[in-house]
Amino acid sequence: QVQLQQWGAGLLKPSETLSLNCAVSGGSLSGHYGSWIRQTPGKGLEWIGDVNHSGGTNYNPSLKSRVTISTDRSKSQFSLKLSSVTAADTAVYYCARGLLGYFYMDVWGKGTTVIVSS
Amino acid sequence: QSVLTQPPSASGAPGQRITISCSGSYSNIGSNSVNWYQQVPGTAPKLLIYSTYHRPSGVPARFSGSKSGASASLAIGGLQSEDEADYYCAAWDDSQNGHYVFGTGTTVTVL
């Protein structure tokens, strides 16, 4: 059974760079893409972007200038970097995996809470 | 900000059927398939319906999806207490070089 394990720093100061990682166990990213989604407190879901197994990316236009998503195929991992964070970036961040060519995510990580505070 | 609009809440008695609407535009629902996710508070979202109509293995048949034009619907028949959760529609949006969009979310309460 494919599972996603995510980790990264949970407390940041304004202007720092958020960095999260997601490892695929019981499978790989081959033929799939890895996505990052966030959920602000009490609010809905926001797609951040995705990366396919070849390194091709798509980003949310509203975050594109600050986001970098990359993959390490040898480790079946993908990563998120979000620069110049502010309090508005405080959220639960999820990684998820989807099948290439299909616009849905069928495996999700458990989420990482990231708080931005001075 | 979400570009797919859902009602904030929906409710029904056990055994009843409810539907949740999801309103979008030509660039998203009108041109691409729709997915639905179920989220129990404090847990990660779970894929409920994919490619507009299809249920992943393990999802009960009382959950069904449909689409007409730029709108989609999720129906829950035979409502059960464990169906209390937040539900989100989602679709790929072809505008702005393409990006994924989620709905505003609907909280379902079983009375």
In a 13 Å sphere around the CA of A110, the CA atoms on its Cβ side amount to 5
Of B50 and B1, more confident: B50
pLDDT, residue A43, reads: 76
Judge: B100–A59 Cβ closer than 8 Å, yes or no.
no
pLDDT tens per residue, range A77-107: 999 999 999 999 999 999 999 998 888 999 9
The pairing of strands A11-12 and A112-116 is parallel
Q: Is the predicted pLDDT of residue A75 greater than 90, yes or no? A: no
pLDDT tens per residue, range B91-110: 999 999 899 999 999 999 99
Amino acid A85 reads: V
Q: Name which of A104, A107, A110 to mutate to probe chain B: the one with the most chain B Cβ atoms within 10 A of its Cβ.
A: A104
What are the chain A neighbours of B88 within 8 Å (beta carbons)?
44-45
Average pLDDT of the segment spanning B78-87 = 96
B33 token code pair: 């398939």
Chain-centroid distance, C-alpha A107: 13
Judge: A109–B32 Cβ closer than 8 Å, yes or no.
no
Res. B79 pLDDT band, cuts 50 70 90: very high
pLDDT, residue B60, reads: 96
Task: Supply angle C-alpha B92, B93, B97, rounded to 5.
Answer: 115
Q: Name which of A52, A57, A103 to mutate to probe chain B: the one with the most chain B Cβ atoms within 10 A of its Cβ.
A: A103
Judge: A94–B88 Cβ closer than 8 Å, yes or no.
no
Res. B1 pLDDT band, cuts 50 70 90: low
pLDDT, residue B84, reads: 97
Res. A24 pLDDT band, cuts 50 70 90: very high
Q: Is the predicted pLDDT of residue B25 greater than 80, yes or no? A: yes
The pairing of strands A105-108 and A91-99 is antiparallel
